[in-house]
Amino acid sequence: MRTGYTLSGRYRIVRALGEGGMANVYLAHDLILDRDVSVKLLRLDLRDDPSTIRRFQREALAATELVNPNIVQVYDVGEENGMQYLVMEYVEGTDLKAYIKAHFPIAYQEVIHIMTQILSAVQTAHEHNIIHRDLKPQNILIDQHKVAKITDFGIAVALSEHSLTQTNTVLGSVHYLSPEQARGGMATKKSDIYSLGIILYELLTGTVPFEGETAVSIALKHFQSEIPSVREIDPRIPQALENVVLKATAKRPEDRYADAASMAADLKTSLSPKRAGEVKFTPAQDDDGETKVLPLSALSSLTPTSAEAATQTQPQEKTASDETPVKAKGKKGRKKTRHPRRRKFLLAGLVVLLLVAGILIGMALFRPQMTSVPSVSGRTEKVAKSRLTDAYLTVGKVHKTASASVKVHRAVRTEPRSGTQLKRHTVVDLWISTGPKRYQLADYQGDAYASTAAKLEALGFTVHRESVHSTSVPAGRIMQQNVLAGKKVVPARTDITFTVSTGSATVTLADLTNKTKAQAQSYATNHNLNLAFDYAYSNDVAKGRVIKQSPGEGAVVQEGDEVTLTMSRGMESESSSSVDQFSVNVKIPFDDSASESSSDEEDDDDSSSSSSSSASNLVQIYLKDQDHSLSTVYKQMTITSDTSVTLPFTVASGKAGAYKVVRDGHVIASDSHVTKN
């Protein structure tokens, strides 16, 4: 949408703010309420997509239901010429992703302040049974007063709208996706809690917990791998504060906070000295039917019961003494009848114990010993290798990789990632930072500014524009750049300034009639105009003054345009019939060697100006006839290629005229005897 367009007769577009997958966002001014607003306009290529339109309308519906100082307010919803649009509160500032990048490391108190505001907004949404489903720093705005505001409810779901939930479709940003969403399950309020935990992790560490080559690999890590410890990255973080991250990002929803308010309450006290000795949070274990080895003590406690059960089910031999009562024959006789059976039970129990002990010892000897991959992010290569070795792991290949968040020569990550359970002596590869990725700048001179600036800003550059008028470079094209082409720079640390042509400046012509030639030429020089002269007799205008001009007074022309003046020869007399009038065509060749040498000199001076912007010749033409003298310039012009001009002569019969062409200070053509024939 172009700048200056007024939407619905009320919202005047000022400039573009950004582009998204579903809509473009513009800064606009509300002409009725005299305030700045942001307008979200559904992209043209998605106008006919019913599902996108539903999502767009759902965002409007969801946001208008929510009133909270930390939620971007929606003012208006409408449609014009098939364009769906939302009018929202304009937040002057940046998103949380860029804020973290610019201000990291962030003080813990400020982290808690930002998160408390976000949690307040999420709690309000959840109280209205609305799940955001795409909570991420890019959807959280931070204004100039450090007030956080959540936006983009484009995939938010009202719990009552079951038709909007697709359990086989994953929506949301994969770096902040809960394990249940990553599995393709339904998002719940606790899915938002998980995303908030990842945001808190990023505020504390400056990075997300899981990275990968593909979105699928990152999603798998969310429900397979443990969240890396924030205290491994920054040991100064209190355990109570890390516990908030761990509880919010627990794999099982039931282990997470009950709601956003509970998380906010826990977060507010996480820096309290009373919680200084807090132990690390560990979620409740659930074996889910997993096969486990029980300790010997547990098995031993079960043995008598097993033996007793065995005796109860074992058939007993019936003897005559069992069927017929026999009179006891004293103690000696009773001992002989009971002792063999008791000894049988003891032997059976001993055999069972020996078998169990043998099994356990065998399993202990042959079971593979496991270890966990330690976190080495931010450590030197030597320390990282030492940590892996201390964890009974083998250091594999050492790879080099660019990183904007990890210093040069320090560890970025391992593969497998930290927290992964492995057999001892498994090979683990290590990635070492080479620093931020550098980008080699091209020569952008002559390119369109709009597309070039958008591409560079997407890479992380800060782009500035300086506008100048130019008669040789089309409007909107880059004339110069302050950073030389071919230089390798870090985008996030580089500001680029482009000098951009606005085209020729416009001139509103003054009234030149009755002016002398000298006065007319002075006006033309001051306004960068070229003059051409015609001559005519006049009984009303004195000789040597302008009779008329073309274009006329008040006409709007471009700098460099030609204005034709008709000069007076004075009153017509009989002698005027003996005058010859004719024209001569002169070809002026363009000289590009001058521009090349100029460019070479500029290169020696480390200048970034383009030779293309100076590839022109300044030409001055002198003419001698009845109305002109070789001492004054007849015509001045700038050429960029071979050019032909027509020179008009008025001479007395039998007389000759003359001309001289000067290009960049050198005479390149002249003729001192120009006649009609």
> Rounded to 5 degrees, what angle do the CA atoms 411, 413, 417 make?
145
Q: State phi, psi for 410 to the nearest 5 degrees.
A: -115, 155
Residue type for position 367 = R
Using alpha carbons, list the distances in angstroms from residue 285 to 193, 252, 254, 282: 20, 10, 12, 8
* Signed CA dihedral, 299, 302, 304, 307: sign only: negative
- Residue 158, C-beta contacts closer than 8 angstroms, at least 6 positions apart: 62, 129, 130, 164
For residue 551, say if its preceding peptide bond is cis, omega within 30 degrees of 0: yes
* Alpha helices (H) in 14-154, listed in sequence order: 50-65, 96-103, 108-127
Place of tokens 């409740």: 284
Three-class secondary structure of residue 281 per DSSP? coil
What b-and-e string marks burial along 313-336, b requiring 16 or more CB atoms within 10 Å of the CB?
eeeeeeeeeeeeeeeeeeeeeeee
Place of tokens 């201390």: 390
Beta-carbon count within 10 A of 370 CB: 11
For residue 491, say if its preceding peptide bond is cis, omega within 30 degrees of 0: no
Using alpha carbons, list the distances in angstroms from residue 655 to 89, 659, 672, 674: 80, 14, 11, 9
Beta-carbon count within 10 A of 651 CB: 20
Listed residue (569, 561, 550, 544) closest to 511, CA to CA:
550
d(CA 141, CA 97): 9
Residues serving a catalytic function are 134
Beta-carbon count within 10 A of 274 CB: 8
Report the length, in residues, of the chain.
677
Beta-carbon count within 10 A of 498 CB: 23
